[in-house]
C-alpha cells in the first residue's frame, strides 16, 4: 500500500511515523519551543535522525480553547521554516498542518508534499489536492478516496470527551478496514486521563503505548512528538508479533 505525496511514494504497508514540529506559541505540549525558524528546522532534523518518515509542521494550535489565526499570520510563521526545510532536508516529505486553502497552496508551492487538514475541507481544498497530487489527511467523516493520496484521521482530542477518545482509539481496527488511517494521540488529554499524568511533556510511556496499539490495529501513520521511542517500540512489537509461535501482527506494520 502506498501513500502518494507528490514525488514521494510512502510505503504504508508498515506503520509510518510522522514527527511533529509546532511553530506556535501556544500548543498544548511544546508551544513556544520552536518559534524561531532555525530551532524548528533543527528539531525537524533531529526527528528525521530519530527515524521520522514524514515531518508535520503546524503554525496554529488546535488545543481546546486556542485562538484561531488568519491564513496570513499562519503563513508568516510557516514561510521561513519551509524555505529552510527545502534547503536543508530536500529529500524528506513535509506535511503542513492547515485548514486554509490559501496556506495549503503556498505550502505546496514552497515544496510541501502533503496537507494535514484538521477541519472539513472545502471544495477549493479538494481541488488543490487533485491538481497537485499531494498527500492529504482529513477528518474521518470527511474522507473521500482520491487515488492513493488521502488518509483519514479519527480526530482524537478534537472536541471529544475522555470516553469518546477511548472509544475512538478502540475502534481503529474497524476504521482501518475501510480506508488508510492516521492517528494523532501523542501526549493528548486522553493519555493524561488514562495514566494520571497531568504534564503533557511527561506522557511518553502512554503515548508510545497508544501508538503501538494503533499500529497493531492497522493504522498507516502515527503522528507523534517522540519519534525515536515510538520507532523502537514499534520495531520490538512487530518482531515479537511475527516471531515463530507469536500471535502475528494484527495490523499493517
| Positive/negative CA dihedral, 206, 163, 170, 151 | negative
Nearest C-alpha neighbor of 81 from the set 70, 69, 92: 92
Catalytic residue among 188, 189, 203, 231: 188
Strand partners, 55: 19, 94
Judge: domain 2-242, CATH 3.20.20.20.
yes
pLDDT band at residue 252 under the 50/70/90 scheme = very low
Mean pLDDT of all residues in 227-240: 95
Q: What percent of the chain has pLDDT over 90?
A: 80
Of 158-172, 192-206, 238-252, where does mean pLDDT reach its minimum? Answer: 238-252
Mean pLDDT of all residues in 96-122: 96
Global pTM? 0.91
Strand partners, 94: 55
pLDDT per residue over 13-65, tens digit each?
999 999 999 998 755 555 556 778 999 999 999 999 999 999 999 988 766 56
Catalytic residue among 16, 77, 187, 223: 223
pLDDT band at residue 230 under the 50/70/90 scheme = very high
Query: Which residue has 481544498 as its cell numbers?
Result: 125
Is the Cβ–Cβ distance between 95 and 116 less than 8 Å? Answer: yes
Q: Return the DSSP state at 181.
A: B
- Is 83 assigned a catalytic role? no
Is the Cβ–Cβ distance between 217 and 172 less than 8 Å? Answer: yes
- Is 105 assigned a catalytic role? no
Amino acid at each position: 500500500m502506498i501513500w502518494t505525496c507528490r514525488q514521494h511514494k510512502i510505503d504504508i504497508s508498515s506503520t509510518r511515523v510522522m514527527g511533529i514540529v509546532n511553530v506556535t506559541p501556544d500548543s498544548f505540549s511544546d508551544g513556544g519551543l520552536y518559534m524561531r525558524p532555525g530551532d524548528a528546522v533543527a528539531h525537524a532534523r533531529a526527528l528525521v535522525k530519530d527515524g521520522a518518515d514524514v515531518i508535520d509542521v503546524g503554525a496554529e494550535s488546535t488545543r481546546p480553547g486556542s485562538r484561531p489565526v488568519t491564513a496570513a499570520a499562519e503563513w508568516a510563521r510557516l514561510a521561513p521554516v519551509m524555505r529552510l526545510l527545502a534547503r536543508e532536508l530536500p529529500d524528506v516529505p513535509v506535511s503542513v498542518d492547515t485548514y486554509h486553502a490559501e496556506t495549503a497552496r503556498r505550502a505546496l508551492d514552497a515544496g510541501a508534499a502533503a496537507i494535514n487538514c484538521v477541519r472539513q475541507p472545502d471544495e477549493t481544498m479538494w481541488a488543490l489536492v487533485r491538481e497537485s497530487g499531494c498527500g492529504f489527511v482529513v477528518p474521518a467523516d470527511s474522507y473521500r478516496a482520491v487515488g492513493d493520496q488521502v488518509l483519514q484521521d479519527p480526530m482524537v482530542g478534537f472536541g471529544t470527551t475522555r470516553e469518546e477518545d477511548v472509544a475512538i482509539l478502540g475502534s481503529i481496527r474497524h476504521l482501518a478496514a475501510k480506508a488508510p488511517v492516521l492517528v494523532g494521540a501523542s501526549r493528548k488529554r486522553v493519555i493524561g486521563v488514562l495514566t494520571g499524568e497531568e504534564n503533557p511533556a511527561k506522557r511518553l510511556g502512554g503515548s508510545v503505548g497508544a501508538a503501538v496499539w494503533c499500529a497493531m490495529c492497522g493504522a498507516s501513520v502515527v503522528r507523534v512528538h517522540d519519534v525515536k521511542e515510538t520507532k523502537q517500540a514499534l520495531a520490538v512489537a512487530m518482531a515479537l508479533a511475527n516471531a515463530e509461535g507469536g500471535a502475528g501482527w494484527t495490523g499493517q506494520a
